[in-house]
Amino acid sequence: MPARSTNPSVSFGLDRLMTPIGIALLVTDVDGALRALDWEDYEHRMRELLRLHYGAVDLRNQPAPADMRTALSGYFEGELGQLSAIAWRIAGTPFQRKVWTALAQIPAGTTLSYGALAARIGMPKAVRAVGHANGSNPISVVLPCHRLIGADGSLVKYGGGLERKRWLLRHEGVEA
């Protein structure tokens, strides 16, 4: 008989924020750091990513920190630099964390190809792995996975749907 896990579940707060492109789900830890940001219509995927990164997760309705909500609202109102004011914390493999941290360095209003990001992190042949890590990014918008595009400039894959990706890029001044 397999042994049962005695690891307790991790508890995070869950809040919702209305945005021009849907209701954003904000998952925060006890210190108020953002652990996940996804869209209400993709809640199942978000919960699965949390499970993969943290094991059993207990989400309790709890307001996100006011300064985080203000920064996100500011971003959606056109103050693009507000995202850098948001405290975040990530789990994941060392490679995933490297990719996600590199995403945070892509300035608003710019895009990179998956290959360019792979080169930027010193692993130019890891294009597919960068794509997989990007697809597992738990903190949409703040870790701007929407700024990665195909080598030919095309919009490719976005966990929140291509219409949201297109909106986010246009919002940042990129013709998509």
Catalytic residues: 145
DSSP 57: E
Task: Give me 76's structure tokens.
Answer: 């959606």
Residue 107 has φ and ψ, to the nearest 5°, of -65, 150
CA distances from residue 108 to 6, 100, 171 in whole angstroms, order as listed: 43, 15, 9
CA distances from residue 153 to 58, 85, 110 in whole angstroms, order as listed: 39, 29, 12
